[in-house]
Amino acid sequence: MKHTLTTILLFCFVISVPLLAADKNSSSTNPLLGKFNEIIQFADLTAEYIKEATDVSIKEARESLAKLYTIPKEQRTFDNTMLELDNIYNKAGNIYGSVYLMGSTHPDDAVRNQADEGKAEFAKFFNEISLDENLYRAVKDYSETEEAKSLTGYEARFVQKTVEDFERNGFALPKEKRDELKAINDKLSDLSILFQKNIAEVSDYLIVDETEIDGLQEDYKNARRQEDGKYKIDLTYPSYIPFMKFSNSESARKELYTLFNNRASAKNPEVLIKVLILRQQMAELLGFKTYAEYRTGDRMAKTPQNVWDFENNLIDKLKEKAQIDYDELLTVKRAKLGNETIDVIQPWESGYYNNILLKEKYELDQNLVKEYFETDNVIDGLFSIAQHLFGVEFEEVKDPSVWHKDVRLFNVKQDGKIISRFYIDLYPRPNKYSHAACFPMIGSKETESGPQLPTATLVCNFPAPTADMPSLLPHGDVETFFHEFGHVLHSVLTKTKLSSQSGTSVSRDFVEAPSQIFENWTWNYESLKLFAKHYKTGEVLPKELFDKMLAAKNVGSGLAFTQQVYYGILDFTLHDKYDPTSSQPVVEVMKELQNKITLYPYLEGTQMFAAFGHLMGYAAGYYSYLWALVYADDMFSVFDKNGIMDKATGLRYRDIILANGSSRDELEMVVEFLGRQPSQDAFFKAIGLEVK
């Protein structure tokens, strides 16, 4: 599992959007309104096309909904009500999926800005129909029919979940309260987009001289050297993470840490308070004490107390390992500075001293390690492993029509037939989404024209190749690559009848499990030797070096997982125990929790939460990373037992977990795959804790 602060699951997540498909008979020149299962011509996309597609799809969805409302109660069937509702969501959702992606990745300002406007329009539309009394009544009426009561499997689950979602959205409320709820949700949608936009627009950087960049490799320096001989260090991960690990200048690291932890701090604290106030109002309107109570009700956790118990149990279990990790760093710092009285590791020092610890005590040179992970080799290995385990073939589309020259497109084939597609967009550029994520675009669905081809995009920000050097990935980035590709696999290997149940539509506190499990293939020599080859010599990663990596795997795991617990508790506190109308600023809550939970002291003047994007999409849900990891490690124990490249296990996992999306209960699927009830033992073993 990922075990360092910067590579564990902080910014690696799936972007969840509703899903839908284009008209099979369309003759429009608009790339987003093409024919059924046709590859989208992204290179032809303009701001005008995005606006047209947004307007047309919302207009057509409203017209289809109007027809659905008029069906008499006694004539309602699954096909004319529930299937038609899925068709409507599906058709609007495919447009939304691409619009959302373009708002995060397109290099043209006009296209990106129009896409952001389109995202807001779609969000308001989906909010509108989630509060549409006519639609609720249509679904509720159908749910009370004899046909509905006789349904089983995915159909029964779709009806049940749809009714529950409507009722959680306020259909126990009178009309005026529902209107109030809609207004709140519309405001929340706009504020959420603004919060993320403020983060994306951060362009701060640090200029350093030769002494301050001492310790960094030549390829890193060459990529950032300015005309005057100084170096520009921006706040993207390929710049920030290596600098914090390798720069010998404590003052420069502290300055960069301060900049990084103040991203969007001029704008987002005010935005966040508005969001928290509106969420609390929403929860109270719906009859819940807090937003956290509302949010956990339809997830695996069920109640806030279960989340608090989970997090507090982790704190207790991690305490001893975290202290051991901290003491190791103190020993390194004392030796480095020649001062045995030092008793504090500052947060901007942790990566630096951890790197020295790995190099000196564990004899692990991370710069040497990354020489065995050239990006193209990693792609080849990743694809080879996935194709073998899951019985599919990835075929690159030559000269695809894409939004940027770096983007690549692949068909996924099974038994010679194309079953899905995915794009990869791997390197940083201005105004691009700055973390790592899978963007689902089109979901799985059975249609009259045949199966709809699921499509997703993998967006990362790995070090780009230069004129002198290929793209080399630190092992943490290799983990990130596998993690995010796990989301892609969940999106493109799903085979659901309804797009509403496709792939990553599972409960938010399970959605990370299929990505987390896939990280394990970066920690096994049998799989690594397939692709870990020196970029100059082609030499396979030596077993001796791998053994050092493995020995160091859980160095710092107690600190890193404690940090994850802190993020989860910060998020959950803001949504369960904090009064946003009080005079207490969020930064004081953050400071108190950081000093209480983690071993790194808070640095005055920093406001990390202002760029904590998960406070939007994962509101009251950040706990789900570790919650899902428990299931991921438990499921991986089956591969561990049967063989990491065992195809029979891979096919079972594909068919039970990936293919079913949310068409079955998540816990039921896990139990079937495990052949027993879940356990936390594999999780604690994976992070280096003894299982008692």
In a domain, 691, yes or no: no
Contact criterion met (CB below 8 Å) for 463 and 240 = no
Grade residue 50 by pLDDT with cuts at 50, 70 and 90.
very high
Catalytic residue status for 133 = no
Q: Which of 15-19, 41-45, 322-326 has the lowest mean pLDDT?
A: 15-19
Q: Is the pLDDT of residue 26 over 80?
A: no
Nearest to 265 by CA among 617, 614, 608: 608
Do 531 and 670 belong together in one domain? yes
d(Cα 509, Cα 628) in Å, to the nearest integer?
A: 6
Q: Is the pLDDT of residue 3 over 60?
A: no
Do 484 and 349 belong together in one domain? no
Chain centre distance of CA 105: 15
In a domain, 608, yes or no: yes
Do 233 and 300 belong together in one domain? no
Q: For residue 530, what are its two tokens?
A: 């397939």
Grade residue 16 by pLDDT with cuts at 50, 70 and 90.
very low
Q: What mean pLDDT do residues 227-238 have?
A: 95
Task: Work out the percent of the chain whose per-residue pLDDT is above 90.
Answer: 87
Do 474 and 545 belong together in one domain? yes
pLDDT, position 14: 52
Do 99 and 151 belong together in one domain? yes
Do 561 and 638 belong together in one domain? no
Do 427 and 454 belong together in one domain? yes
Last residue of a domain, one of 241, 260, 279: 260
pLDDT, position 691: 61
Do 189 and 237 belong together in one domain? no
Q: Which of 18-27, 164-173, 482-491 has the lowest mean pLDDT?
A: 18-27
Q: Is the pLDDT of residue 472 over 70?
A: yes
In a domain, 22, yes or no: no
Beta-strand pair 445-447/408-414 = unpaired
Do 520 and 648 belong together in one domain? yes
Q: Which of 18-32, 133-147, 278-292, 516-530 has the lowest mean pLDDT?
A: 18-32
Cβ within 8 Å of residue 189, ≥6 positions away:
120, 123, 124, 127
Contact criterion met (CB below 8 Å) for 401 and 501 = no
Question: SS3 of 489, please?
Answer: helix
Last residue of a domain, one of 584, 607, 622: 622
Grade residue 12 by pLDDT with cuts at 50, 70 and 90.
very low
Q: Which of 19-33, 588-602, 629-643 has the lowest mean pLDDT?
A: 19-33
In a domain, 287, yes or no: yes
Q: Which residue has the higher pLDDT, 268 or 2?
A: 268
Cβ within 8 Å of residue 95, ≥6 positions away:
20, 22, 32, 33, 53, 54, 57, 122
Query: SS in 3 state form for 647-676?
Result: HHHHHHHHHHHHCCCCCCCHHHHHHHHHCC
Chain centre distance of CA 12: 4
In a domain, 687, yes or no: no
Each residue's pLDDT tens digit, 287-334: 999 999 999 998 999 999 999 999 998 998 899 999 999 999 999 999
User: Which residues, in sequence order, are bridge partners of residue 533?
Assistant: 373, 540
Do 246 and 282 belong together in one domain? no
- Give the CATH number of the domain where residue 169 resides: 1.20.1050.40
In a domain, 169, yes or no: yes
Tell me how many domains the chain contains.
4
Each residue's pLDDT tens digit, 563-613: 999 999 999 999 999 999 999 999 999 999 999 999 999 999 999 999 999
| Active-site residue (options: 374, 484, 512, 519) | 484
Each residue's pLDDT tens digit, 109-147: 999 999 999 999 999 999 899 889 999 999 999 999 999
Do 140 and 40 belong together in one domain? yes
- Give the CATH number of the domain where residue 418 resides: 1.10.1370.40
In a domain, 147, yes or no: yes
Do 377 and 480 belong together in one domain? yes
In a domain, 379, yes or no: yes
- Number of Cβ atoms within 10 Å of the Cβ of 573: 18
- Give the CATH number of the domain where residue 329 resides: 1.10.1370.10
Q: Is the pLDDT of residue 7 over 50?
A: no
Each residue's pLDDT tens digit, 637-661: 999 999 999 999 999 999 999 999 9
Q: Is the pLDDT of residue 18 over 80?
A: no
Say what the pTM is. Answer: 0.83
Cα dist. 239→100, 427, 448 in Å? 26, 12, 49
Contact criterion met (CB below 8 Å) for 299 and 508 = yes
Last residue of a domain, one of 182, 199, 216: 199
Q: Which domain holds residue 209?
A: 203-260
Chain centre distance of CA 635: 20
Average pLDDT, the chain: 93
